[in-house]
Structures are given as C-alpha cells and as structure tokens.
Chains A and B, each alone.
Chain A
Amino acid sequence: MMDPATLLAVLETTLSQADADVVESAITGKDLIKAGALMGAGICMGFGAIGPGIGEGFAAGKACEAIGRAPEEAGLLTRTMLIGQAVSESTGIYSLVVALLMLFVVGV
C-alpha cells in the first residue's frame, strides 16, 4: 500500500505524461478537499437513496395488498401508507441535506 504522498506523485506524473499541455498546475490540498466533498456528496446521496426507495416500496406494496382485500378502508389505508412512507423517507432527506451541506458549506 502506497502512502498518500507517493500516490499523489504517481497520479500527477501519469496525468502530466498523458496530456502535458493541458495539465498546468499540480494538485493542491484545496483541490483535494473540494474533490473529496464532491465525491462525498455523490456517495452520500447515491447510497442513501437505496434504503428509502426499497422501504417505501414495501410500505406501498402492503397498502395495495390490504386495499385489495378491504377496498372500503381505502382512505385509512392510504393515510397509513403515506405516514409510513414519510417516516421511511426521512433518511433519504437526511442524505439530501448532508449532500447539500457537503456541496455548499463544507467543500467551498
């Protein structure tokens, strides 16, 4: 396992060898922080969207099943479904907030 400094040096040489006239400056610490914030936001929102998506699907699926069995209770069941989904959505919203924080507050 290379240490970060060597890794950076190798990356820089590869970049400059590959396209010498376009890369004009070396990678600075500030660039790395910004790049980390961007990747963090992407990973946060991407993986954070898996759970709520599947979870809300379960809630709505069971609601559909229940309404199929007892259509006269549709109002109550839809309300319960929406409350369940809203709670399940909360982690998706946390991911969204954290991603926006990384993009606009931390990574500047």
Chain B
Amino acid sequence: MDITPETWNYIGRYVGASLALGLGGLGAAIGMGMAGAEANRAMMKQPSKHSDLLRTMLLGQAVGGSPSIFALVVGLLILFLPVNESTSGMVFASTLIGAGLAVGLGCFGSGVGCGFPAAQACSGVARNPKKSTALTSTMMIGQALAQSPSIFATIVALILLFLPTPSVGIASAGIAIAAGLSMGASALGPGLGSGITAGGAVKGQSDWPQSRSITVRTMMIGQAICDTPAIFGMLVSFIMLFTLQDLEVSIIGFSKVMAAAIAVGIGGIGPGIGCGIVSETSCEASAKKPEHDALMLRTMLIGQAVSQSTAIYALIIALVILFVV
C-alpha cells in the first residue's frame, strides 16, 4: 500500500477532529444533561417556580457549554488548517491528532464538571427561590473557574496547530501526540474536580445563604488547588514542545515522550477528582458553620496536599523519563 503525505494529512484531520469534537462534546452533553435532569426533578416538586428554574437551567447550560465551543473551534481549525508543503505528512498529521487529544480530553473534564454546579443550582433555586440571583452568580463563578483546565488545553492545542514543531524529523510526530496527551489527560481530572467543588459550594450556599462569602472563598481556593495536576501536565507538554530539540530518532525516543505523557497525564486524573471531593465537603461544611472556617480550610488544605502527592510522583517519574534515563 502506498501512503503519500497527502494521505497522512487526511488521516490527521479526520482523527484529530473526531477526537476533539467527540470527546469535548460528550463531556458538555453529560454536564448539560445533569443540569436538565435536576431542573426537571425540581420542577416536578415545585411547578409554580418553573420560570426561575428554567432561567437557572438555561444559564447553567449556556455557561457549561463553553468547553464544547472550545472543542468546536479547535476541531474546525484541525479540519481546515491550511497545510504548507514542507510540513505535510506524518508530522503534520500527528500535530493535528495531538491537538485533538488535548482539547478533547481537556474539555471532557470541564464539560462534565460544569454540570455539577448547574444541577445543584437548580435544586437550590427550587428550595429557596428568593436567593436565586446570588445562587446563580456563585454557580457562574464556579463554572468559570472549572473551565480553566479546558482553557489550558485549548492553549496547548493552538500552540500545536500554529507554532512549528521541534525539527527532529519523525520524532516530532511522537512529541506532538505526547504533548497533546499529557495536557488533555491531565486536564480531565482537574476539570471534573473543580466542577465537583463548585457543586458543593452551590449546595452549601443554597442551604445556608448567609455565609456566602466564606463559601465562595473556600470554593475558589479549593478549585485553584484542584487545577495543580493540569498545570503539571501543561508544564510537561511545554517541556516536550520547546526543549526536546535533541530527542533521539528511534523507538526509544518515541517511547520516552509517550511514557512521560501517560505518566503525568493519566496520573493527574485521580488527584484532580480526589481534591475536588475534599473541597466539595469542605465548602458545604464551612457554609454550615462559618465560625469554624479556619479549621475547615486547614483540614481541606492538608487533605488536598496528601491527595495531590500521587500527582507529584507522576510528575517526577515523567521528568526522570525525559531527562535522566
């Protein structure tokens, strides 16, 4: 079979765009579905509040849908990016697949994550319709922060698409896919975790609206810490894209970058979700008892730090693979 550079370009476009839109759209759809299901449940209990509920649900779904818009933009770019003759072929195809992996996996996490605060806001509005404005604004802050991993992923995808890849011949094909995988997979967990955190904060606020400022502050600190694995993943993908100019062109060089990407990328999923579970309950607890806020914050930070340790092991192993072995 004869595989021309043209064929590689098409393979890259189709695989990359389907990864970006398939995975990115899937996440946002799950998140929107969670919001819709909760809104229906609340409406069934309180049919008189239907207009408030509908507004909250639509706002939550609109803001929660933006990761899928990032995925759509990058997916269309992957499909229609003009190719110049010098880069055409396997390397170009793998930058497209790498960009698709980054934005697809990254937007999947944030898309599902944005569903948690939207769902909690719907059930909160039904319980406490007078506080719906404050609740909706907390929901939107939480969703915006839960989208930061997907924004990191979009940035890496755009870098992959528009900056020249390291000119190490065929090895840069491996670098491009690995950089996309490490960013995308490591953004998945933090996106989910930040969303779970925002869900807890919205739930806490809907039950105890008077301690709103403390709840929002705890939520923002918790989400910032949830994002750490995504930052590790972004760091490793930048290292791959910008410093590996002397990667050996062999199966060893290829497995080096892939192994580092799997370590830091997949390794970031668990800690991201785990940190989210910690700060979810911490947000609820500090909303309930704002007078013990310092104690809750301390416990949350200790718990998140320990939960984060495996992400740090994964980062260490990735750096050892890249630079020591």
Q: Which residues of A contact B (CB under 8 A)?
A: 11, 14-15, 18-19, 22-23, 25, 27, 31-32, 34-36, 38-43, 45-65, 67-69, 71, 74, 77-78, 81-82, 85-86, 89, 92-93, 95-96, 99-100, 103-104, 107
CB within 8 Å for A107 and B325 given contacts A35-B254, A46-B314, A50-B267: yes
A82 engages B310 (CB within 8 Å): no
A56 engages B321 (CB within 8 Å): no
B270 engages A60 (CB within 8 Å): no
B250 engages A23 (CB within 8 Å): yes
Contacts of A81 in B (CB 8 A): 299, 302-303
Contacts of B317 in A (CB 8 A): 41-42, 45, 96, 99-100, 103
Contacts of A74 in B (CB 8 A): 295, 299
Contacts of A39 in B (CB 8 A): 255, 258-259, 262
Asked whether B39 is an interface residue with its Cβ less than 8 Å from the other chain, the reply is no
Per-position 1/0 for B36-50, Cβ under 8 A of A: 000000000000000
Contacts of B252 in A (CB 8 A): 31, 34-35, 38
A68 engages B274 (CB within 8 Å): no
B273 engages A53 (CB within 8 Å): yes
Tally of chain B residues near chain A (CB < 8 A) = 66
Q: Which B162-216 residues have C-beta < 8 A from chain A?
A: 169-170, 189, 193
CB within 8 Å for A95 and B313 given contacts A31-B250, A38-B256, A46-B263: yes
CB within 8 Å for A71 and B292 given contacts A42-B258, A65-B285: yes
CB within 8 Å for A55 and B263 given contacts A38-B325, A46-B314, A64-B300: no
Contacts of B256 in A (CB 8 A): 38
